[in-house]
Amino acid sequence: MAAMAAALRGPAGCFRWQTRALAGGVRGAAAGQRDYDLLVIGGGSGGLACAKEAAQLGSKVAVVDYVDPSPRGTRWGLGGTCVNVGCIPKKLMHQAALLGGLIRDARHYGWEVAQPVPHDWRKMAEAVQNHVKSLNWGHRVQLQDRKVKYFNIKASFVNEHTVCGVAKGGKETLLSADHIVIATGGRPRYPTHIEGALEYGITSDDIFWLKESPGKTLVVGASYVALECAGFLTGIGLDTTVLMRSIPLRGFDQQMSSLVTEHMESHGTRFLRGCILSHVRRLSDGQLQVTWEDQASGKEDTGAFDTVLWAIGRVPQTRSLNLEKAGVDTNPDSQKILVDAREATSVPHIYAIGDVAEGRPELTPTAIMAGKLLAQRLFGGSSDLMDYDNVPTTVFTPLEYGCVGLSEEEAVARHGQEHVEMVCLREPPQLVLGLHFLGPNAGEVTQGFALGIKCRASYAQVMRTVGIHPTCSEEVVKVRISKRSGLDPTVTGC
């Protein structure tokens, strides 16, 4: 009995369920009488897509989801990062900033708009937050309609077929399933080694839920999250500075990354490059005093800000899952779960999808598709695997950057400088290796060309595609000048 009790011990509080578990849950699970065909841990985009698809295929499905509040105390409803503190509120605030630019430009088109036009953060935030809450409710309704059982509990493994979930009030629930999918995603990283970072800073988990304007803001980081947030903050009229230790948009095409930051700088965002932040302190007037060091000169400098926003990366939500109880292996460095091409972990009936899985793009649409395909393989007789090559994406900076395929650096590293021209192979049929677009509506432009690249389009085929005039996207099919040629690519007419 003592050995069995030790095996069942999960998070604090789950231990007292040992007798009940022995009488039913775990003993029944061992005998094949489990509660569900599929249990999904995580109510984000990938987990919900997998759960709904499996239920539609006739399976008995449950979803467990729980949001730990951020250090600032922010929490949200069902839907995961994308819905609550990512893609959706980000795009809405990005749109607010774009509208501000359009209002400023309107007078050139004959509109008599009094300048300057003030922006009301509270009104924008309320509209964004209400929209997000409507999406939370929509997800609950969809699960109910598909007869997916939803548990608002924080789950951790008891054994390879069973999890223990603890609700906000402390109540525990044991759930067992034939198949388990881990889709817990990630949360923003805090630089805990920096004095005052946790106490005074916020992250993308908080910025979209602020009731009051963040005011003069220091964004720390060079990630797409850092640049997107800095972009819309500048766009709505806030004094915004980006402090970055290294290169912007690491992993993206670096020529395009430079153009992104140059445009932001020319439109009012300040950049502190090659700097390391050392500490954050609260001043008597309520502002935050930030101290940093310029790596090149070794000089120390300070500045006062109303808000410090950390955007230095994300960490997978795996530490509280007790994965060792189920025998699930992780990468010891990244803490992400190791998976194969079928999304299976080291335990064949336990799977991981989305940001929590090692080697997967941290993108909502890939998690959604991977989740649907996994459900179809498990319960629909399919053998289709997720294809992670040539996945398109867009960085929603003030001037948007869309891309699909390899960056120029990746293309050269893979094929050699002499074999690459305009991120295409030089030898016939001049296969397109990657496409990078900087301009308005970059996501809309890139989505269409992504299909062509997925179908292995050649440069010649792109050039034979008739452009729609006048549009931004037609510039792609008009590209006749390469970097190697040394010719001026400036457009001088139609």
Mean pLDDT of the chain: 93
Mean pLDDT value across residues 94-106: 97
% of the chain beyond a pLDDT of 70: 94
Round to whole Å and give the CA distance between 376 and 87: 26
Mean pLDDT of the region 140-160: 98
- Give 461-482 pLDDT, tens digit per residue: 999 999 999 999 999 999 999 8
Whether pLDDT at 9 is above 60: no
**Sign, CA torsion 373/377/380/382:** positive
The answer to whether residue 412 scores a pLDDT higher than 70 is yes
Residue 354 within any structural domain of the chain: yes
Report the C-alpha gap between 346 and 122 in whole angstroms: 48
Q: Whose CA is closest to 348, among 181, 103, 165, 102?
A: 181
41 - beta bridge partners?
64, 182
Domain annotation covers residue 161: yes
Shared domain for 307 and 321, answered yes or no, is no
CA angle centred on 366, ends 362 and 367, rounded to 5°:
80
Same domain for 349 and 438, yes or no, is: no
Q: What is the mean pLDDT of residues 215-219?
A: 98
180: its two tokens: 């388990």
CATH number at residue 465: 3.30.390.30
Say yes or no to pLDDT of 173 above 80. Answer: yes
Residues 153, 166 contacting (CB under 8 angstroms): yes
Are 306 and 321 contained in the same domain? Answer: no
The band of 1, judged by pLDDT with boundaries at 50, 70 and 90, is very low
pLDDT(448) > 50? yes
Give the rounded percent of residues in the chain with a pLDDT score beyond 90.
90
Domain co-membership, 467 together with 443: yes
**pLDDT (average), residues 123-150:** 98
| Domain termination residue (choose one: 312, 333, 363) | 312
The token pair that represents 215 in the structure block:
């005011």
Residue 207 lies in a domain: yes
Q: Return d(Cα 299, Cα 80) in angstroms, integer.
A: 41
Q: How confident is the model at residue 141 (pLDDT cuts 50, 70, 90)?
A: very high
Long-range pairs of 17-26 with CB within 8 A, sequence gap ≥ 24: 17/164, 17/172, 17/174, 20/174, 21/158, 21/162, 21/174, 25/162, 25/174, 25/175, 25/176, 26/158, 26/159, 26/162, 26/174, 26/176
Its domain, for residue 406, covers: 400-478
Looking at the fold, whether 234 and 260 belong to one and the same domain comes out as yes
pLDDT of residue 25: 43
pLDDT score of 356 more than 60:
yes
Q: For the domain that residue 331 is a member of, what is the CATH number?
A: 3.50.50.60
What's the pLDDT band for 254 if we cut at 50, 70, 90? Answer: very high
Q: Give a yes or no: residue 384 inside a domain.
A: no
Q: Span 413-417, mean pLDDT?
A: 97
Task: List the catalytic residue out of 94, 193, 349, 469.
Answer: 469
Q: What is the pLDDT of residue 18?
A: 40
Confidence category of residue 491, pLDDT binned at 50, 70, 90: confident
**pLDDT for position 32:** 60
In terms of pLDDT, which residue wins out, 452 or 29?
Answer: 452
Number of domains in the chain: 3
Are residue 49 and residue 180 in the same domain, yes or no?
yes
Question: Do 49 and 175 fall within a single domain?
Answer: yes
Among the candidates 379, 409, 426, a domain finishes at: 379
The answer to whether residues 32 and 163 belong to one domain is: yes
pLDDT at 16: 40
What is the pLDDT confidence band of residue 17, given thresholds at 50, 70 and 90?
very low
Does 92 score more than 50 pLDDT?
yes
CA angle 60, 63, 69 (to 5 degrees): 170
Residue 493 lies in a domain: no
Amino acid residing at 122: R
Residue 14 has a pLDDT of 61
Structure tokens at 171: 């109540």
Q: What confidence score (pLDDT) does residue 28 get? A: 41
**Predicted pLDDT at 160:** 98
**Is 15's pLDDT higher than 60?**
no
pLDDT, position 256: 98
pLDDT confidence of residue 8 = 44
Could you confirm whether 469 is annotated as catalytic?
yes
50 phi, psi to nearest 5 deg:
-65, -45
214 pLDDT above the threshold of 60? yes
Q: Is the pLDDT of residue 283 over 80?
A: yes
**CB neighbour list of residue 92: distance below 8 Å, 6 or more residues apart:** 127, 128, 131
DSSP calls for 307-332: EEEE-S-EEES-GGG-HHHHT--B-T
